[in-house]
């Protein structure tokens, strides 16, 4: 096994385990002395920490979850610089999101991947994630429901790809971004299936912390 293979393997494992750090669980224990999985929606994510414990820990968790999405991708981009760098970054992003959603520290349970995906796409696809984040923020402000904004942002991200790369959307160099955005959409919708059920029933959680 060559040194490059060892580096790629280490970066892959590092991406997954960085993503799996359960900041929501940790801060809920530190700030509220509770297991966040037993309160609110039961989701160990920033929005549930915000709702159950308060804005400060919720925002801190959101920032940390975003950073843990961005840093592995950024590191891979710095350490692997060749014609396939973008694909390595995309792979690191996917592994980071997978670690967040299926954290071994929480018995392979985890958050819904929204903040972590934000961090990933800030590095890989900043133009698209800015558009998606603006739409998501507007939706949250209007509805006061985090899940509505998260789903709208996730749905719009693949659309934004065609807006940004409208001249040549099928360019092989950039098509990996589209694939990752579609995978992120699938994962986020899957992880929000309980939220979708509550939305249909008119019982989804609203935040009252502002």
Tens-digit pLDDT string for the chain (210 aa): 566 778 889 999 999 999 999 999 999 999 889 999 999 989 999 999 999 999 999 999 999 999 999 999 999 999 988 888 899 999 999 999 999 999 999 999 999 999 999 999 999 999 999 999 999 999 999 999 999 999 999 999 999 999 999 988 888 778 999 999 999 999 999 999 999 999 999 988 887 665
Among all chains, which residue has been given the structure tokens 């959680």? Answer: 205
- Residue 200, helix vs strand vs coil: helix
- Round to whole Å and give the CA distance between 43 and 82: 39
- Answer for the pair 121, 158: CB distance below 8 angstroms, yes or no: no
User: 72-97 in b/e burial notation, b at 16+ Cβ within 10 A?
Assistant: bbbbbbeebeeeeebebbbbbbbbbb
Strands (E) in 50-191, as ranges, are: none
Tokens read off for 102: 């299926």
- Round to whole Å and give the CA distance between 40 and 19: 23
- Residue 108, helix vs strand vs coil: coil
Residue 109 sits at φ, ψ, to 5 deg, of: -110, 165
- Round to whole Å and give the CA distance between 103 and 37: 13
Sign of CA dihedral 206, 197, 48, 124: negative
């Amino acid at each position: 096994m060559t040194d490059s293979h060892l580096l790629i393997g280490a970066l892959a494992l590092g991406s997954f385990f960085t993503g799996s750090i359960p900041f929501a669980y940790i801060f809920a224990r530190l700030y509220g002395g509770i297991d966040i999985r037993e309160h609110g929606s039961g989701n160990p994510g920033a929005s549930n920490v915000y709702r159950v414990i308060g804005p400060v820990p919720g925002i801190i968790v959101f920032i940390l979850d975003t950073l843990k999405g961005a840093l592995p991708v950024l590191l891979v981009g710095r350490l692997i610089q060749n014609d396939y760098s973008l694909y390595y970054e995309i792979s690191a992003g996917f592994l980071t999101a997978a670690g967040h959603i299926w954290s071994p520290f929480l018995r392979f349970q985890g958050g819904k991947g929204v903040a972590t995906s934000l961090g990933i796409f800030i590095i890989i696809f900043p133009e698209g994630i800015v558009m998606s984040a603006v739409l998501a923020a507007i939706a949250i402000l209007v509805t006061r429901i985090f899940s509505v904004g998260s789903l709208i942002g996730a749905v719009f991200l693949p659309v934004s790809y065609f807006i940004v790369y409208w001249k040549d959307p099928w360019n092989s160099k950039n098509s990996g971004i589209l694939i990752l955005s579609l995978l992120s959409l699938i994962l986020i919708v899957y992880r929000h299936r309980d939220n979708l059920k509550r939305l249909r029933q008119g019982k989804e959680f609203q935040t009252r912390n502002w």
